Copies of this chain bind each other. A is one copy, B any other.
């Protein structure tokens, strides 16, 4: 939201010991290519609430999330907001056809990204089809997630939305940390509401209701799934 004051890592870094080496776009590259790739990206830090890029901005860079969580959202002229997704480490951002980002991205808590200037990155891809294939895979995965989310937004009740959100978020955490019934929620209630197409009051009331029924416990910075089976039944997959 506030003007972005970024911190650029002064010293070099090595892709080979990058935390997302195995899951991000770069997982498609050979060690030799990786060394060349290393020179294209620079690590950039954003602190909580900073905007990494805005919807209407002309795309000058692509981003590979290394650490932290970002909210990806679109605004209507009157200020209504829809969060179209959350980006986690390994996610690749910035692909578009129009030449402009078609959503905005803010850091939720501290975030580190690997930033690539558009032109050199485009040239690098040019003769590396396996990198293109990897980007394509990520796009197809996101498309599938987007369609699932359309079902949630268009056809699910508030209870189902919240339950599905908790399970979905746990599922995504699973890849990074291990499996757990404790779901950390770094985003605000307002973020959750804007992701689920609800109001903050409804999200809050639904959490409280789930807690009263013994399905979850609201803990500091997250939710504990006391009765995962109950929550799964509510999400009605």
Selecting from A5-13, A20-28, A148-156, the interface stretch reads A148-156
Q: Could you tell me the distance in whole angstroms from the C-beta of A51 to the nearest C-beta in chain B?
A: 17
What is the total number of residues of chain A having a CB less than 8 Å from a CB of chain B?
Answer: 41
Asked whether A74 is an interface residue with its Cβ less than 8 Å from the other chain, the reply is: yes
User: In the complex, what distance in Å separates the CA atom of A102 from the CA atom of B146?
Assistant: 11
Q: Is the pair B137, A140 in contact by a Cβ cutoff of 8 Å? A: no
Asked whether A141 is an interface residue with its Cβ less than 8 Å from the other chain, the reply is: yes
User: In the complex, what distance in Å separates the CA atom of A143 from the CA atom of B140?
Assistant: 8
Question: Which residues in window 85-137 of A have CB below 8 A to B?
Answer: 95-98, 102-103, 129, 132-133, 135-137
Selecting from A42-50, A76-84, A204-212, A224-232, the interface stretch reads A76-84
Picked from B74, B132, B236, the residue with its CB within 8 Å of the CB of A132 is: B132
Asked whether A187 is an interface residue with its Cβ less than 8 Å from the other chain, the reply is: no
A interface, by DSSP: helix, strand, loop or mixed?
helix
Cβ-closest chain B residue relative to A161:
B154
Q: Which residue, of A129, A196, A237, has the highest number of chain B Cβ atoms within 10 A?
A: A129
Q: Is the pair A151, B97 in contact by a Cβ cutoff of 8 Å? A: no
Q: Is the pair A154, B197 in contact by a Cβ cutoff of 8 Å? A: yes
User: In the complex, what distance in Å separates the CA atom of A132 from the CA atom of B128?
Assistant: 12
Cβ-closest chain B residue relative to A141:
B97
Q: Is the pair A102, B147 in contact by a Cβ cutoff of 8 Å? A: yes
Picked from B98, B132, B150, the residue with its CB within 8 Å of the CB of A146 is: B150
Known: A147-B84, A147-B146. A96 touches B140 (CB 8 A): yes
Residues of chain A at the chain B interface (Cβ within 8 Å): 74, 76-78, 80-82, 84, 95-98, 102-103, 129, 132-133, 135-137, 139-144, 146-151, 153-156, 194, 196-197, 236-237
Give me 10 A-to-B residue pairs in the complex whose CB atoms sit less than 8 angstroms apart, sorted by A's number: A76-B151, A76-B155, A78-B236, A82-B154, A96-B144, A97-B141, A98-B144, A103-B147, A146-B150, A150-B153
